[in-house]
Amino acid sequence: MISINAWLQIAIFLLALLVCIKPCGIYISQVLDPSASIFLDSILKPLERATYKLLRVNPAKEQTWIEYLFSVLTFSAGSLVLTMLILFLQPYLPFNPQKLPASSWHLNFNTAVSFMTNTNWQSYAGENTMSYFSQMAALTVQNFLSPAVGLGVSAALVRALSRNQANTIGNFWVDLIRICYYLLLPLAILFSIIFIAEGLPQNLSPPLEVQTLEGARQFIAQGPTASQEAIKLLGTNGGGFFNANSAHPYENPTPLSNLLQMLAVLLIPASQIYYFGHEVKHKKHAWSIFATLTLLLLACAWLCIWCETSATPLLSKLGLFGGNMEGKEQRFGAALTALFTSVTTDASCGAVCGTLDSLTPLGGLVPMVNMLFSEAIFGGCGAGLYIMLIYVFVTIFFAGLIIGRTPEYLGKKIEAYDIKLTVIILLSFGFTILSLTAFAAVSEWGLKGIENAGPHGFSEILYAYISTAANNGSAFSGLSTNTPFYNITLSIAMLMGRFGVIIPVMALAGSLAQKKKAPHTPNDLVVHGVVFTLFLLTILLLFGALTFLPALVMGPILEQFLMFEGTLF
């Protein structure tokens, strides 16, 4: 049963998100327009100019889509190398009070790829593996840079849609710098201060050694937690300072911090929808997209909450009807833990405040389905918007086929080349997940990591590749992934999920930017209202079902039927 308190907190969360969307969306629009005046200019403008001078960037010069893409790829490659270098040199760098050694080459590679791609998959326990310097200089820095790259790519696509016969789509370096300085940094400072007030530690002190009531010795880890926690959520990163992530009381101590964390996760992705409508001058269309995403979010969240607050068949036979509390955060209850799970997997943020491996089979299906929409349900910073627009292009294409006319979107014709690019994006996502899952499920290396039998073991493998390909980073647990096989194959999934999308998206942006923008006429396809919303929702569901339903039947769906028969794994 869901308590009144839980319902109240859910309502407050949704209301707060709705209130923040418009002002934050307008502010994002100002940040991504170098000519716009921002209230932080007096503080940050000198720093912005100094950074341009240091990097030898001409902020007035825009780039073609090929130049923009080249900048994205070279910057990401440099970030990968620098992060790996810091992790390998960890024993020799400062702020390492525990004298932690460097990890294995394959774990360092996996971690660097993970944080560079905005995935933040962790095959390690943060407090026992990474020094404070590694957490701050490598991982937290990437928590700023990787979402900024995604936001820059989405801004380039939006410019391509709003411009008329243009050859340029902005300047990557200007977008990157302004997003980091004007958007992510101020928000991260604000949320860090709030989190410190809520009880999160922010220090460089070594772990505390204490004596328990039983007389045993225990080490209590601490460190610069609040600063990493803020940006891990705002940037839809998800990598925890501690192994327990947001289930740890030092990362998520109070109901208020839990509410603020969910708000931080969806703040930028949801506000980007308003930013998009503002830029293309079609706010009704943006609100229709927002309505579609909200319907999916609420439906999936309700299903997960219902599954976890309802008694399983075996508990019902024992007269226990309190819901499934295994692996749940006791301070927040089953309902809010399930909501947190659904929100973070909607938004490509791997933060968790419970053990996903302990969800009921149908409850565990929900985060899988959320991620199988390819980050479309709000998704990660930037990534959620451009993936959602890919589904919109497909919807427009099918609508054009139905009515027998060349599909047009916001005054621009959607031609064969554009549709081929969208199909490449959607097929590469499914191919990456299904091929790597199949390989792991039949190979000796993959089977060694499974700790559960039957369909639950298959779900653990499937979830790992879904999470990494969707650049989410949450883990189903129960799967030993710190091996050369999983660290390498999961890295491949992360790279494909990131750049297998970004490269064709940039090519699509280049194509759209050069198209002539036709004036609006009464005969244009209507891209707002109930009919468009339902059509877009149908396309999303059909693509997901046709691609992934067989795999889901072999995992959580089969396990759900077996649970009704009394078989557990």
- If DSSP codes are grouped into helix, strand and coil, which group holds residue 475? coil
pLDDT at 224: 93
Q: How far is CA 317 from the centre of its chain?
A: 39
Q: How many whole angstroms separate alpha carbon 553 and alpha carbon 303?
A: 17
Q: Please name the amino acid found at residue 284.
A: K
Whole-angstrom Cα distance, residue 150 to residue 321? 44
Q: How far is CA 222 from the centre of its chain?
A: 26
CA triplet 122, 127, 131: central angle to 5 degrees? 95
Delimit the domains of the chain by residue range.
27-210+219-281
| pLDDT score for 139 | 94
SS3 content of the chain, % helix, strand, coil (to 5): 65, 5, 30
Q: Cα–Cα distance between 478 and 199 in angstroms, integer? A: 30
Measured CA to CA, the distance from residue 218 to residue 159 in angstroms comes to 55
Which residue's structure tokens are 């418009």?
22
pLDDT at position 47, please?
95
Higher per-residue pLDDT: 177 or 523:
177
Q: Identify the helix (H) or strand (E) that includes residue 218.
A: strand 217-220
In whole angstroms, what is the distance from residue 377 CA to residue 296 CA?
A: 7
- Report how far residue 502's alpha carbon sits from residue 498's, in angstroms, rounded to the nearest whole number: 6
Contact 121, 470 (CB under 8 A): no
Task: Tell the burial category of 352 from Cβ atoms under 10 Å away from its Cβ (0-12, 13-18, 19+).
Answer: buried
Quick one: average pLDDT of 170-183?
A: 96
Rounded mean pLDDT of the chain?
90
State whether residue 113 is helix, strand or coil: helix
pLDDT in tens, 69-120: 999 999 999 999 999 999 999 999 999 998 999 999 999 999 999 999 999 9
DSSP symbols for 39-87: TTHHHHHHHHHHHHHHHT--TT----HHHHHHHHHHHHHHHHHHHHHHH
> CA–CA separation, 537 vs 214, rounded Å?
56
d(CA 470, CA 472): 5
Q: Quick one: pLDDT at residue 118?
A: 94
Q: What is the pLDDT of residues 290-308, one digit of tens each?
A: 999 999 999 999 999 888 8
- Is the Cβ–Cβ distance between 459 and 442 less than 8 Å? no
Element (DSSP H or E) covering residue 220: strand 217-220
Determine the angle formed by the axes of helices 225-234 and 185-198, rounding to 10 degrees.
Answer: 130
For the stretch 41-77, pLDDT in tens is: 999 999 999 999 999 999 999 999 999 999 999 999 9
For residue 376, what pLDDT is reported? 85
- 3-class secondary-structure state, position 211: strand
Report, as an integer, the average pLDDT of 486-513. Answer: 95
Report which DSSP code applies to 519: P
What's the maximum distance between 2 C-alpha atoms anywhere in the chain? 79
Mind listing the pLDDT tens digit for each residue in 368-385?
999 988 888 898 898 899
Q: Measured between alpha carbons, how far is 276 from 295 in angstroms, rounded to an integer?
A: 19
According to the model, what pLDDT value does residue 353 have?
Answer: 87
Q: What percent of the chain has pLDDT over 70?
A: 97
According to the 3-state scheme, what is the secondary structure of 89-101? CHHHCCCCCCCCC
Backbone angles phi, psi at 202, to 5 degrees: -145, 85
What is the pLDDT confidence band of residue 277, given thresholds at 50, 70 and 90?
very high
Q: Which residues 6+ apart lie within 8 Å of 59 measured at CB? A: 34, 52, 171, 173, 174
pTM of the model: 0.93
- List all residues 6 or more positions away from 377 whose beta carbon is below 8 Å from its beta carbon: 293, 296, 297, 300, 346, 347, 370, 384
Phi, psi of 272 (to 5 degrees): -65, -30
For residue 201, what pLDDT is reported? Answer: 93
For residue 317, the model assigns a pLDDT of: 66
Cα 215 to Cα 172, 191, 210: the distances in Å are 57, 38, 9
pLDDT at 401: 82
Greater confidence (504 vs 326) lies with: 504
β-strand partners of 450 = 479
Which CB contacts under 8 angstroms, 24+ apart, belong to 189-197?
189/230, 190/230, 191/229, 191/230, 191/233, 191/234, 191/260, 191/264, 192/226, 192/227, 192/229, 192/230, 194/260, 195/226, 195/229, 195/230, 195/257, 195/260, 196/226
- pLDDT greater than 70 at residue 315: no
Quickly list DSSP for 192-208.
HHHHHHHT--B--PPPE
Confidence of residue 527 (pLDDT cuts 50, 70, 90): confident
